[in-house]
Amino acid sequence: TEDIKKNSLTDKELELWSFIGKAVGSQEFSDIIKNTFQNDLTKRYNTNKLKTKTRIELISDENGYSISPHTDGSHKVATLLFYMPVDSELRRYGTSIYQPKDISFIDERGIQFPFEMFNEVRQIPFIPNSVLGFIKTNNSFHGRPLIEHLNQPRNWINCSIQHSKMLIN
């Protein structure tokens, strides 16, 4: 909430964002996500009853932004990208899902790799009221190619459910 206050929001806006932060950051919400992915989490961690914390970031991208293919850091359990455009004009600016050209390539660390090492499998459209959710695996490569010709901010919420006691790598 302190970070939100620094951005000079009105009282009504602050109330709305505080409510969203509390709801999405709640243990109940985290448990719903873990239950949704319970089979995959059980395969990865031998349980879906992980102790977690939630990090929520409100992000606004502009022209020149990109993030090359990566899996998330090993401290992350699941990621949810809530898209918040005002209309479908930014449809082509969604997150891309990648497959390594060397299909045996994996990465647990979550570092970024050159686009040239990957083929884009799919781009999730950046449209209102949509969310991309996935668990962290050693082959869950995703990223965002360079944003150009944007005439409005690319607003979204990054919600990451993380191991409570695991250090960020």
Amino acid 88: pLDDT = 95
The length of the chain in residues reads 169
- Beta carbons of 36 and 135 less than 8 angstroms apart: no
For the whole model, what pTM was predicted? Answer: 0.90
The residue with tokens 């899996």 is: 71
- Beta carbons of 99 and 143 less than 8 angstroms apart: no
Pair of tokens at residue 53: 């914390």
List the strands of the sheet with 118-123, edge to edge.
Answer: 67-70, 142-144, 96-100, 118-123
Output the tens digit of pLDDT for each of the chain's 169 residues: 455 545 677 889 889 989 999 999 999 999 999 999 999 999 999 987 899 999 999 999 999 999 999 999 999 999 999 999 999 999 999 999 999 999 999 999 999 999 999 999 999 999 999 999 999 999 999 999 999 999 999 999 999 999 987 655 4
Single-letter amino acid code for the residue at 76: K
Residue 25 CB neighbours (<10 A): 15
Pair of tokens at residue 96: 């891309």
DSSP 8-state secondary structure symbol assigned to residue 52 = E
